A = this chain, B = another copy of it.
């Protein structure tokens, strides 16, 4: 039994981690902390969890756990990760702090990076592409929902050398904005649909472009710190009146001649061994992945216009967040990758 802990356990990522880890046979959840709820029972933050234990302090978690999940707002992991690593702990960071080179991070996030040296060591935690690097990782940068969906939607085309760019429409449930996210009051989100952060300003754009650029330059498997080719994409996110789930609908700008058969073969081959990626016959729908760690992907060739499109759906709090972090944990610990991670969703 490996001792694990969670720092930032009262946000949605933290709550999902508690739920998944409590049912994980290979780990013991030795502590979870929340500045806001320190010392209080679990029920102070979480009506859905049977009340056992209390929120501890950050220090307690740092001391007691061997592997630490950081589920914090951007800018905090870069302060905590060095301390944890110094004390011999391993870290899975759910924020954006170690996903980008410090100079890129600073320009997109507007936050000075306090641990630039650690970036060189961080492994990018997208198991489908970086599985080989994760076994020995001390610090994992766990990617988020939009990036996971968009990257996996286009990875086969990028690895094939065919991808030049993309117009990606992101459609997200409201929980993607975090607990008490700005502008997410029910009365104004319900029966409403709106784009936001359009125009090339969303922080996840450089991460998507780098992920796909790595595949273009390296083929598969990719190394986090290997060469990166150029992919330029537009990302157009929208807020959808639902709690969980994201769908990306992507128009891929590609070279070469494609048709439905070639796309199907490329995608089925590329993901043939993946436990959590399913190439669907039907069009993906978010509910099909609800509460599961699965991604449903469908490439489509539109003969009428010659366009190549891809659809990808996942649960933003599981495969797009906490489930992916547990998948990374399993790989770091050498456990079966699927441990404690449902492949099947909740319906209806």
A346 with B348: CB separation less than 8 A:
no
The distance from the CB of A307 to the nearest CB of chain B, in whole angstroms, is: 5
Q: 29 A-B residue contacts at CB 8 Å?
A: A15-B347, A43-B281, A43-B282, A47-B287, A48-B345, A49-B347, A165-B305, A173-B187, A179-B185, A184-B185, A188-B287, A188-B348, A190-B242, A190-B348, A191-B242, A192-B286, A193-B286, A194-B247, A194-B283, A194-B284, A198-B302, A198-B309, A198-B311, A199-B303, A200-B304, A232-B305, A234-B251, A234-B302, A243-B348
| A167 CB contacts on chain B under 8 angstroms | 167, 251, 307
Is A31 in the interface zone, CB < 8 Å from B? no
Selected from B15, B234, B286, the residue in CB contact (under 8 A) with A307 is B234
| A43 CB contacts on chain B under 8 angstroms | 281-282
Selected from B48, B185, B309, the residue in CB contact (under 8 A) with A288 is B48
A347 with B48: CB separation less than 8 A:
yes
| A249 CB contacts on chain B under 8 angstroms | 169, 195, 236, 238
The distance from the CB of A143 to the nearest CB of chain B, in whole angstroms, is: 21
Is A40 in the interface zone, CB < 8 Å from B? no
B191 with A294: CB separation less than 8 A:
no
Q: Mark contacts of A275-317 with chain B using CB atoms, 8 A cut-off: 1 yes-contact digit, 0 otherwise.
A: 0001001111111111110100000101111010101010001
A287 with B245: CB separation less than 8 A:
no
A48 with B200: CB separation less than 8 A:
no
Q: How far is the CA of A244 from the CA of B291 in the complex (A)?
A: 14
Secondary structure call for the A interface: loop
Selected from B245, B283, B291, B307, the residue in CB contact (under 8 A) with A346 is B291
Nearest residue (CB) in B for A278 is B50
A-B pairs with the 8 shortest C-beta distances? A48-B345, A194-B285, A200-B304, A192-B287, A47-B288, A187-B348, A48-B347, A186-B189
A residues in contact (CB < 8 Å) with B: 12, 15, 19, 22-23, 43, 46-50, 165, 167, 169, 171, 173-175, 177, 179-181, 184-196, 198-200, 232-234, 236, 238, 240-245, 247, 249, 251, 278, 281-292, 294, 300, 302-305, 307, 309, 311, 313, 317, 342-348
Selected from B175, B232, B247, B290, the residue in CB contact (under 8 A) with A48 is B290
Interface centre among A169, A181, A313 (most CB of B within 10 A): A169
| A309 CB contacts on chain B under 8 angstroms | 198, 234, 236
B47 with A193: CB separation less than 8 A:
no
B19 with A294: CB separation less than 8 A:
no
| A305 CB contacts on chain B under 8 angstroms | 165, 200, 232-234
A-B contacts besides A23-B342, A186-B186, A195-B283, 13 pairs, CB < 8 Å: A12-B348, A19-B346, A48-B288, A174-B185, A179-B188, A191-B244, A191-B245, A193-B242, A195-B311, A199-B300, A199-B302, A234-B305, A234-B307
